[in-house]
Structure 1
Amino acid sequence: MKLVLTLYFYLPLLFCKIPNALFLDQRIIGGQVARAGQYPFSAAIYKTTADGNYFCGGALYTNQWIITAGQCVDGAILFTIYLGATNLQTPGSTSVRLATDEYVLHPEFNPLTLENDIGLIKLRMPVERTDYIQPMTNLPSSNVPAGASYLQAIGWGQTSDENSGLADELNWITLTTISNEECRITYGNQITDRMVCVVGNFNEGACTGDTGSPIMQWIRGYYSEHVGISTFVSANGCESTDPSGYTRTFPYVSWIRNITSN
């Protein structure tokens, strides 16, 4: 991975360099196109700030709250959000387009180190559930361990280093966690206990535009838990073999529930 942090949003891309940092740029490389309704909690988030417009992913958690990365809400003036869509060019009749300016950024979010990179977006009204729009209500009861396989990540991020635009279709990939000790071989001590690193079996991974999107762990094969939030990738490029980084969900479960229950 390149030792550079890059915030991966839509237009334009932001580049924030720090010593021995990570590359905040994520890719769904080597993914498969999601079926309509396969991930009914997926959220496409267009963020407007004083400096421009940016794109992130997220996960609908309750009928009125979305879990995403802290960098995806920091400084926001307005969010335009699509739920129930898999194709961003033609969202279709199964989707809804919503606007809101309400969010909660974790009070200890550090934009330089990406510690506590989590934020919550509140919709103006609860969304109606359909076959294509359903919240992901399962939060983990413990940290996902190293060596956990069959985790799935989703996103509309770049599908290659050469393709600088967002993908039209929502893509998904299967990933495996590695230990933080192994991840620190690439990134050093900036990998904290509240982060988790993942690798693909065939160079799958996240890319620009995937920030904020969830990683899910399937439990006993029939339901999934939200176990991580896409945060960074290697500056060596989306198609490198370096691990990608996620914010662990488990350390923030109480914070999420406290905010969303009010």
Structure 2
Amino acid sequence: MFWLAFTILLSAARPGEAQWLFGGGGSTGLSSSGQNDANCGVPSVGLNARIIGGQYGSQGMFPWQVSLQNLAQGGSHGCGGSLFNNQWVITAGHCVEGMTNPGLWRVRVGLASLQYYENGEQEFSVSKIIMHPSYHASSAGFPRNDVALMKLSSPATVSNYVNNICLPDRDASVGTSNCLVSGWGVYDIQSQYWGQAPLSATLKWTYAPILDPGYCSQNYIWGSEMVSSIMVCAGYDHGQDDACNGDSGGPFICPSPDGTRWELQGIVSWGEQPCGAQYKPSAYTRVTAFKSWIQQTIQSN
């Protein structure tokens, strides 16, 4: 059984790693085109590359992270997403499947807490939702072409807390260990077994190293469902450090080749249920496979 629409669980220490401190965001405005702008992928708060037992994020650490909130469900957090430019959010197709009416959604950006309003966060209604035209479920029920775009009703304003993510020119290599996933999803492994799995009130993040698709396609892991050029498989054999329900649609990011900024390598798509199981890494939509569609759709809408 797998989850859709998934919190960051526990994370192990990674001693001896260097720090990335991608400096302050500056004052460059966000681009409204389908192209990266000069300031993308740069947080105002540096990320320390060593975490123990999971890590809570703060405002400005993931300025592209958004919360998609379903107004039909009382405005509760439904999925994550990534701000690509001043008016477009990249998320998972399954997050909006059957709910493509823009009036059903609210988007919050520039926040770390779902529970409290924070100075500097911005809130938007949605004017348009576009699912990938080839989105569908596989024969086993796994989403394919799992990507969608949301257009905000008005442009976001760049700040220390709000910035866009870069789209990559090429895939990050198998074995890259300093990629991260962030979100407000389910954060406690045991609560899933009790049937009471709360979302995290504060943004969390953890590592998710990129795994070889051939490894992930072995029968005791995910089988042939992972043999696909449109997916990224990432996580740990030991489980626990992972994404979960409520993180879907959110960013899977890796450092750029020159190490100066973050790039959106994946979109949280699906994983094991309950989350955090051994030998069940999570699956992410491979952004490079859909980069042209993303750019062309934004430019034409």
TM-score (norm 1): 0.86
Deviation at 1:240, TM superposition (A): 1.2
Q: Deviations over 1:195-217 (max 9, x none)?
A: 11111486311011000001111
The equivalent of 2:2 in structure 1 is 5
The equivalent of 2:231 in structure 1 is 195
The equivalent of 1:131 in structure 2 is 160
Deviation at 1:84, TM superposition (A): 0.7
The RMSD of aligned alpha carbons is 1.9
Give me the whole-angstrom Cα distance separating, in 2, the residues matched to 1:7 and 1:176.
Answer: 21
| Contact 1:174/1:200, CA 8 A, preserved across alignment | no
| Contact 1:177/1:196, CA 8 A, preserved across alignment | yes
Give me the whole-angstrom Cα distance separating, in 1, the residues matched to 2:117 and 2:181.
Answer: 20
Partner of 1:66, secondary structure, is strand
Structure 1 residue runs of 5 or longer lacking an equivalent are 9-25
Q: In the TM superposition, what are the counterparts of 1:78-97 in structure 2 within 5 Å?
A: 78-97=104-123
Deviation at 1:82, TM superposition (A): 0.7
Partner of 1:177, secondary structure, is coil
Deviation at 1:140, TM superposition (A): 1.3
Give me the whole-angstrom Cα distance separating, in 2, the residues matched to 1:117 and 1:165.
Answer: 25
The equivalent of 2:177 in structure 1 is 149
The equivalent of 1:42 in structure 2 is 65
| Contact 1:47/1:72, CA 8 A, preserved across alignment | no
Letter in 1 for 2:153: R
Partner of 1:162, secondary structure, is helix
The equivalent of 1:204 in structure 2 is 241
Letter in 2 for 1:151: C
Partner of 2:125, secondary structure, is strand
The equivalent of 2:31 in structure 1 is none
| Contact 1:157/1:209, CA 8 A, preserved across alignment | yes
TM-score (norm 2): 0.75
Number of equivalences: 239
| Structure possessing the higher radius of gyration over alpha carbons | 2
2:269 counterpart of 1:231:
yes
Letter in 1 for 2:284: Y
Q: Deviations over 1:154-191 (max 9, x none)?
A: 00001113341110110111121111111111111112
2:148 counterpart of 1:119:
yes
Q: Deviations over 1:131-172 (max 9, x none)?
A: 111111x21112232111100110000111334111011011
Structure 2 residue runs of 5 or longer lacking an equivalent are 11-53, 192-196
Larger CA deviation: 57-66 vs 143-152: 143-152
Partner of 1:143, secondary structure, is coil
Q: Deviations over 1:211-234 (max 9, x none)?
A: 000111112332011000001111
Deviation at 1:130, TM superposition (A): 1.3
The equivalent of 2:87 in structure 1 is 64
Give me the whole-angstrom Cα distance separating, in 1, the residues matched to 2:234 and 2:117.
Answer: 30
Deviation at 1:121, TM superposition (A): 0.3
The equivalent of 1:73 in structure 2 is 96
Letter in 1 for 2:269: T
| Contact 1:47/1:73, CA 8 A, preserved across alignment | no
Q: Deviations over 1:219-259 (max 9, x none)?
A: 23320110000011113x21212211101000111001001
Matched-pair identity in %: 28
Partner of 1:233, secondary structure, is strand
2:125 counterpart of 1:99:
yes
Give me the whole-angstrom Cα distance separating, in 2, the residues matched to 1:250 and 1:196.
Answer: 10
Give me the whole-angstrom Cα distance separating, in 2, the residues matched to 1:231 and 1:135.
Answer: 20
